Structure 1
Amino acid sequence: MRVFITGASGWIGSHTVDEFLAHGHQVLGLARSEASAAALQAKGAEVLRGDLDDLDALRRGAESTEGTVHLANKHDFADPAVSNAAERAAVQTIANTLVGSDRPFLLAGGLGGLAPGRVGTEDDVSPFVGPDSMRGGAENLAFDYVDRGVRVLAARFAPTVHGTGDHGFIAAIVAAARAAGRAAYVGDGANRWSAVHVTDAARLVRLAVEGAPSGTRLHAAAEEGITAREIATAIGAGLGLPVVSVEGDEVASTLGWIGFFFGMDMPASSVKTQALLDWEPVGPTLGEDLAGGGYFA
């Protein structure tokens, strides 16, 4: 299969490219820069130059391949409206291009806000609807195309997709701890984060594109829920810093922008995903990755 991947040079995307290539597929990767294009070509992938705002490039990429994996996102936390609008436009463009083709279209999402106060499952419908909601309501928008001949797949990723080289949420929490001179969690630290190793996440994406039925919600979560206090304690041990609780104004002053997310409760089950795809996570746990020291080098 020839697969179009947006975000192909990103953290999850680069591992997903490797996964598809290693299993005999061809990859057309969207690349914004010369450096990203060169990195993709070095792996043996084809390159389509463009970015998330280049709707014509997205259209051409989806049209010329046998499946699309949409992993790119602006992640503009200072102006989320910009990210939401770009995501909705991208998803709508790709989905419109694939109408009547029965080709797979996997789009990335997150587990935040899915099931407050309990463990989220694949049966939970996304509460985000409409252009002004998180990610522009892209998951629900995409599912509108299930009855229009698009094999829509929603992959919801754990808040931490960890591993060597990670520059996501855990790396941001580590950086905040360094800057503050203390490793912090919010309140009593009992809120939970699900987690998955990046190689397991990439394998899930490949398996889903190869065989998951249209309309499937998939959870890329190997560990159901690790408490924020456990995460902060591991970071404190790795950096040799005290571990403290913060509340109120201290959250922003100690943790910065990541404090809002680190205080959220985002546990999730992947029992149905594992059974459907015969997907068994085998990568290191988050605790093992933190204990390994890579985040503190």
Structure 2
Amino acid sequence: MNLRTLRTFVEVVRQGGFSQAAEVVSLTQSTVSKAVKTLEDELGTPLLNRMGHKSELTAAGAIVYRRALVLLAERSDLIAEINDLRGLKGGILRIGLPPVGSGALFAAMFAEYRARYPDIEIELIEYGAKKLLECLESGELDVAALLKQKPYNEAFDYQDVRIEPLVVVMPEHHPLSTRKSVDFADLADSPFILFEAGFALNAVIQAACDKKGVTPKVTARSGQIDFIVDLVSAGLGVAFLPRMLAQKHLHDGIRLVALDEADTDWHIALAWRKNAHLSPAAGAWLEVARGR
């Protein structure tokens, strides 16, 4: 058993199939299949149930996946500590950002970081919350920006970046568009336009609706804020955005109304593994973020 094989297996699980994983690890599909088969033969048990183009973990596969994440994280820490010992002047910052709001929050930080540390290489990836968490756990990322929600994941340390209230983006002719604030009970009969599945903001909205006993009527989903706002303007429904992002997309045809609901703030924080080695490059990034 080697770490490269374990990394390949982890990506098959993450990507949901062999062909998708092959693209991520830059191998052929047949090589990926052989790597997983070799691992299964070595352990003497199937790790995946293969169903067409998709695969699901067996009970043994779930154990191997969980342990593989730990081993890959240890390998990452080992390499980082050795590099620090060698006194690398540059280094690499491996950072993950969510699809929503990253430009508004972090573009200026990246410019300042680059100006201060021009020799540090930046490896930036953009994923949804679930995959960012997995990449943090496996040590593939030094730090990631996450929507901070209770109960907080105790495996990570956090540094707050921004807290913004959510606002309701409404068509200008919506019967509630002149209100100063609304809650989910007020919006029970309005179609919702939400982000695509996997966006952490959806969970915040759903949890608040559950508390009010409201079942959202979802009429559309998108991963693009511009398109969501255009759908609202066209009268398809109402949407929910952090105030600072909604104000950037405000135009004729829509209105912004405050959302009067507890525990719905857009709380973005930088997260890193607790008690793990934090590279100097990552520490410098946290320092820049603290000063903003």
Q: TM-score, normalised by structure 2?
A: 0.29
Higher strand share: 2
Higher relative contact order (CA 8 A, sep 6+): 2
Q: TM-score, normalised by structure 1?
A: 0.29
